[in-house]
Amino acid sequence: MTSQPDGARDLDRQFAEIDAVLRGPWVPPDAGHPRVLTLDAYAEARQSIKRAGLTSLDQATIEAVRGGAQPGDPLPLLPPDYHIGHVTDPAVIITGSGQERLVAVLFSHQHFPGVRFGYRFSPYGDGRSAALAFIEAIETGELHRMMSVPRSPDKAGIVWTWGLPAPGLDAQHTEIETAFAQGWRPAGVGEPRFLTERAYADARRVLGHGGWTGLDLATIEAVRGGAQPGDPLPPLQAEPYITRVTDTEVIITGRGQDRRVAVLFTHTDFPSVRFGHRFPPNLAVHGDPIYLKEEIETGALHRMMQTPPAADTTRHHLDNLGRPSSTARIIPTSRGSAGQDRGP
């Protein structure tokens, strides 16, 4: 897919249309028209009132729910001069190069101080409609839902949202780096939680009869220790992306056609060894880090280290994990060719 389906002039036109919308006042499509309280807005307002959490809802909706409004009830009209709520410092840019150029917007949000967001637009379609759809998504809570599990910024410090991913190796680098940086983060990680009736019953079943459960071990152990519905539970914690793998660094290595995304890492069972793994350029062919996780957690690294390969010139060991990709004292970790790459 190219970012210039009909040439540079179309990209310039899209840029101008998006820039005009995002730098001007945001007038919602229903401004001045009757509106009703939806189920989603009601639930979000109730949560905001109860926990004083962040919300994208307008104040009139919050106050209506506070006053007893139910889903389907009418809401006050929005004024025609209603602006983008809480969004500041929008800057429309063109990102990428060559056939991968895209229009993007960088922006801040008052609910997430210190974070600079970015959104890449599709190169196809009307720029004004795309910008209005983007704003409506923010106004209806898409940014807040995304930030319930915060994403890592890129090298420039930008947190990219649900828009188009970066093209080529940059997208793969971001995806793999995010996986290792965030690990496995359950929803609500670090927040207070309580034992529900349903979780209590499931834990009792597992303790009594065994079987599969989606409950975390802390909940099972709490019930084993006598916890009852309503009792507090330990907050959920993030887990490393790969068990026993630490000190990860995701890089781009090689030159020209041999450029690859690679991860450098240490394993607690081999504390004096620095490993590296090169991913193939296509995420659809074992380029996703879940492949590396499965291989290491099922013993491939230990099997490889029974006869350790030689380290490269940077003292990394590339893995030989038996797929057309490569993990580097830095020791190699796959049988795939490293091309002309002589280490990161």
Give the model confidence (pLDDT) of 263-282 as tens digits: 999 999 998 899 999 988 77
- Predicted model pTM: 0.51
pLDDT in tens, 243-257: 899 999 998 888 888
**Judgement on whether residues 317 and 210 belong to the same structural domain of the protein:** no
What is the rounded average pLDDT for all residues in the chain? 80
Q: How far apart are CA 121 and CA 21, in angstroms?
A: 14
Residue 166 lies in a domain: no
Residue 165 lies in a domain: no
Band of the pLDDT at 207, cuts 50, 70, 90? Answer: very high
Tell me the helices (H) and strands (E) count for the chain, helix number first: 10, 13
Q: How far is CA 25 from CA 28, 85, 94, 97, 123, in A?
A: 10, 10, 22, 31, 24
Q: What is the pLDDT of residue 307?
A: 81
**Judgement on whether residues 54 and 94 belong to the same structural domain of the protein:** yes
Q: What is the pLDDT of residue 67?
A: 92
**Judgement on whether residues 229 and 311 belong to the same structural domain of the protein:** no
Residue 240 lies in a domain: no
Q: What is the pLDDT of residue 96?
A: 81
Give the CA radius of gyration of the chain: 25
Q: What is the pLDDT of residue 15?
A: 93
CA-based torsion, 65, 189, 163, 152: positive or negative: positive
Band of the pLDDT at 322, cuts 50, 70, 90? Answer: very low
**Judgement on whether residues 316 and 264 belong to the same structural domain of the protein:** yes
Residue 94 or 175, more confident: 94
SS3 104: strand
**Judgement on whether residues 251 and 226 belong to the same structural domain of the protein:** no
**Residue 67: DSSP 8-state:** T
**Judgement on whether residues 228 and 313 belong to the same structural domain of the protein:** no
Residue 144 or 168, more confident: 144
Closest CA to 23 of 111, 135, 148: 135
Find the mean pLDDT for residues 34-59: 79
Find the mean pLDDT for residues 175-196: 81
**Judgement on whether residues 46 and 113 belong to the same structural domain of the protein:** yes
**Judgement on whether residues 80 and 54 belong to the same structural domain of the protein:** yes
Q: Of 114, 146, 178, which residue is a domain's last?
A: 146
Band of the pLDDT at 52, cuts 50, 70, 90? Answer: low
Q: Is the pLDDT of residue 324 over 90?
A: no
Residue 303 lies in a domain: yes
The structure tokens listed for 331 are: 């020791």
- How many CB atoms are closer than 10 A to CB 261? 27
Residue 49 lies in a domain: yes
**Judgement on whether residues 271 and 203 belong to the same structural domain of the protein:** no
**Judgement on whether residues 224 and 258 belong to the same structural domain of the protein:** no
Q: Is the pLDDT of residue 339 over 50?
A: no
Q: How far apart are CA 41 and CA 39, in angstroms?
A: 6
Q: Of 113, 129, 146, which residue is a domain's last?
A: 146
Find the mean pLDDT for residues 24-32: 66
Q: How far apart are CA 156 and CA 109, in angstroms?
A: 18
**Judgement on whether residues 266 and 219 belong to the same structural domain of the protein:** no
Residue 218 lies in a domain: yes
Domain that holds residue 285: 245-333
Residue 1 lies in a domain: no
**Judgement on whether residues 128 and 216 belong to the same structural domain of the protein:** no
Q: Of 130, 146, 162, which residue is a domain's last?
A: 146
- What is the total count of domains within the chain? 3
Q: Is the pLDDT of residue 168 over 80?
A: no
Residue 152 lies in a domain: no
The structure tokens listed for 275 are: 């490993």
pLDDT in tens, 97-151: 777 889 999 999 988 999 999 999 998 878 888 988 898 788 778 888 888 777 7
